[in-house]
A and B are shown apart, each in its own frame.
Chain A
């Protein structure tokens, strides 16, 4: 049995209640978009004609889903800018490191992998 609920207080900047700019309707629309984008991803995967552009299309669709969740469900669009910095800066560094690591492993001949293993 839950306790009687008090009247909601005025939101304090930067606290949980401060990002109520997005309502339930917005969340539902975002959910619909997420479903739609996922359906498109799977469809693209199964359509042979799109084989040539499969990777860029899938990456764009995944990035769109990622951005929708981060901006609306994680409230980065409405919340204090510091939260965005704390998340996006590491995300960029992680992506940069991943790209650099793949580059170092794939572009040059010597990978440390045994012959015949694709190195």
Chain B
């Protein structure tokens, strides 16, 4: 069930809250899920921090003997993987979850149970990757897993398997979460909250969600191809079989550079909220900051190859990517100047969140400047794979993202817990962390320029790197101490709470209008927003009047408020994914079991709240309509299909760039059967026709007709799959197995994934056919058939592309 603004008029009783552990395991409340994300991310942050400390202790002096080379490889791989995917991203997600519905005046996210599923998928995915330590097989090929280090001949044992399966697992969580927040922000904003009235943090969440939707499919494909190489013997990245390790680098960085913005944009959003509050001024140049955020995301897809200047792409490609990388510094610079102008002339209140926000600006600027240096290919060539790069990325991700997120923790802690954090301890934490990080990471610039490569587990004394490495290790210990100060501060705050009140900072945005912590329903009445900085202007109205209509109504319930019920299915579905992932390392039977359980879990989530009888479901459907008048589920489906464009785009690109590079036959012209495929194409096109007739029938209330057309579509899909099975079988008999050559690798994987999508569509449509036959779907639920139809037509248009690019253009 989704959340809609129709809930402003009390419709049903508030669901009884479960208590204790069960309440947390089955919660679908965005605030609780936000806390779960936050606590889990902090635990993983501690794990990643311990890994970093071991790395630093090993490197503190020449000829270090603290750990061995293999352990060192595992630690730096897991440190990067943990900090990026299990600490910083989910810490941002904690803020998205807790704050976005509150900031936009909503009662929850658009898809509360999918939100819970996203969290549990992240949590189990994190446990899965880290469980590799228990079997002595932690990933050891670096956090960007360059081929061919990750290929079977060079990575024996399950190290890399844990990594690639874990990242696929986490990718599911990220994409589902991004769909949810995109839909929530587009469709659940309070009346009057136009785009240019949204808090900056909501903007950065929206842009981050778009980046996640578009950046994760390429890495998903890259990981799938790596999985095929490792599990089934293909050669996507193996030169011996015709493949190219550079394909991995391209696909990884097409994801990896937007990932940098996925990590930094939320922190920028936090800082953009903190600075105006503590400067007691509106954000300077709000509109330009919004446009700069969007431009960063757009340009972020055109700079990936600056990570690859050292591979020899040639002068034109180097120049193009160098130029685009320099250009992306412009919107980033716009933001920095706007933040400075916000602080300039403000009535500053020096509280801990402001310290961290100002620290963010200074440290991120240093990281940004060294980033611009990397935009120059000749300079970058000298710095590649040296400690200079390690310094740069830590100034961005530690000095930038982490300090920004700590600003957010100090800022919103009173809202989330109802308690204050100690100011003196907060400042001690800040100064220790700031000094510690500069001691740790600034010397790495020198080390890099002195020629120290990254990822070496020890070095000889005569290189002269000992002093700066010792300084860096002392700094890392300082960071460790600062983290302990924060943990102590948090512990004291929760054990001896000092009530914070609803609005301890004299805040500007809607979350400060409700009690701390907020009630489960957030707002007793959904607010109507008149201006940007609505709450501030309501408390301090100017000549243009207040920002909100009625402040008191937000906290005074007028009757029962309908909220989604807790559900165990999200955690169970995520557990099924865990079984599926673990199965790949254990036995094919466990994979099948995990797959079946996952399908069961997805169906359970989807069907949990489908009413037993269609006509009774009228009210149920209203909660799925947002303030825009659009259905959440339809908007989410379109966003998903947008993401799928990148997925199939990457698969088709892989096929095209490997076309004609097979080292042996058969070649496409020898084996592709155009007449047969033309018939199956005709069949699939006609299934789209019957599908749209089914949608039209359910919309006009003709359930019998809808069932008939859906059945025709299902049969059409099955016939298409039959053709595909026949085609594959024929090819195998003619000597084209999966591993025969590069053409077979790319063809079977691409066409096979399309077939898998058709299979999912057949299952989906068949289940809708059953529901219609049972009388559970009527015209008011036509959107359920409509979104299945969108998926089906999408599969159809993908086939239109494949038929032309693969079969006809040989």
Contacts and interface: CB of A to CB of B under 8 A. Distances in A.
Chain A partners chain B: yes
Interface of A: 1-3, 5-9, 11-17, 20, 23-24, 27-28, 30-31, 34-35, 38, 41-42, 44-46, 54-55, 58-59, 61-62, 65-66, 69-70, 72-74, 80, 82-83, 86-87, 89-91, 93-98, 100-114, 117-119
B224 interface: no
B635 A83 contact: yes
A15 B779 contact: no
B674 A42 contact: yes
Given A13-B629, A98-B650, A112-B246, 12 more contacts: A3-B615, A5-B701, A6-B614, A16-B634, A31-B686, A58-B809, A69-B800, A70-B793, A86-B635, A94-B646, A110-B311, A113-B244
Contact of A14 (B630, B642, B674, B773): B630
Interface in B193-252: 213-214, 218, 239-240, 242, 244-247, 250
The 9 closest A-B pairs by CB, nearest first: A3-B775, A94-B649, A112-B246, A108-B314, A90-B642, A14-B630, A16-B786, A62-B804, A16-B782
A73 B661 contact: no
A87 B649 CA distance: 13
B331 to A, nearest CB: 18
A41 B301 contact: no
The secondary structure that dominates the B interface is: helix
Contact of A15 (B630, B653, B656, B796): B630
Contacts of B790: 74
A61 to B, nearest CB: 7
Given A3-B614, A24-B696, A101-B657, A110 B313 contact: yes
A24 B709 CA distance: 12
A97 B701 contact: no
A9 B779 contact: yes
Interface string B628-662: 11110011001101110110111011001100110
B797 interface: yes
| Most A CB within 10 A of own CB, among B641, B650, B685 | B685
17 contacts: A1-B773, A2-B773, A6-B615, A15-B631, A16-B699, A41-B803, A46-B674, A62-B805, A66-B801, A87-B645, A90-B645, A91-B642, A94-B650, A97-B646, A98-B649, A113-B244, A118-B660
Interface of B: 186, 213-214, 218, 239-240, 242, 244-247, 250, 254, 301-302, 305, 311-314, 316-317, 613-615, 618, 625, 628-631, 634-635, 638-639, 641-643, 645-646, 648-650, 652-653, 656-657, 660-661, 663, 674-675, 678, 681-682, 685-686, 688-689, 691-693, 695-696, 698-704, 707, 772-775, 778-780, 782-783, 785-786, 789-790, 793-794, 796-797, 800-801, 803-805, 808-809
A102 B800 CA distance: 20
B674 A82 contact: no
Contacts of B682: 35, 38
Contacts of B645: 87, 90-91, 93-94
| Most A CB within 10 A of own CB, among B213, B214, B689, B691 | B689
A103 B779 CA distance: 49
A9 B614 CA distance: 13
A41 B780 CA distance: 40
A9 B634 contact: no
Contacts of B783: 15-16
| Most B CB within 10 A of own CB, among A69, A73, A110 | A73
A38 B685 contact: yes
Given A13-B629, A109-B314, A69 B678 contact: no
Contacts of A103: 317
A105 B658 CA distance: 9
| Most B CB within 10 A of own CB, among A16, A42, A105 | A16
A12 B244 contact: no
A3 B311 contact: no
Contacts of B213: 90
A69 B218 contact: no
Contact of B638 (A58, A83, A114): A83
Contacts of A41: 803-804, 808
A95 B653 CA distance: 9
Contacts of B692: 27, 72-73
Contacts of A98: 649-650, 652-653, 656
Contacts of B302: 96, 100
Contacts of A61: 804
Contacts of B686: 31
Contacts of B245: 112
Contacts of B789: 73-74
B779 A45 contact: no
Contacts of B808: 41-42, 44-45, 54, 58
A105 B804 CA distance: 21
Contacts of A104: 250, 305, 313, 317
A59 B656 CA distance: 14
B183 to A, nearest CB: 10
Given A70-B793, A90-B642, A97-B254, A55 B809 contact: yes
Nearest to A114: B239
Nearest to A64: B800
A16 B703 CA distance: 15
Contacts of A105: 244, 246, 657
Contact of A111 (B246, B615, B785): B246
Given A8-B779, A17-B782, A107-B316, A31 B701 contact: no
A102 B652 CA distance: 11
A90 to B, nearest CB: 4
A112 B305 CA distance: 14
Contacts of A72: 692
B625 A12 contact: yes
Contacts of A113: 239, 242, 244, 661
A41 B807 CA distance: 11
Given A2-B773, A41-B804, A91-B642, A7 B653 contact: no
Nearest to A79: B634
A86 B785 CA distance: 20
Given A58-B808, A114-B242, A45 B674 contact: yes
| Most B CB within 10 A of own CB, among A28, A80, A104 | A104
B678 A42 contact: yes
Contacts of B316: 107-108
A8 B239 CA distance: 61
Nearest to A41: B808
Given A14-B628, A104-B305, A110-B311, A86 B254 contact: no
A53 B660 CA distance: 20
B244 A112 contact: yes
A49 to B, nearest CB: 16
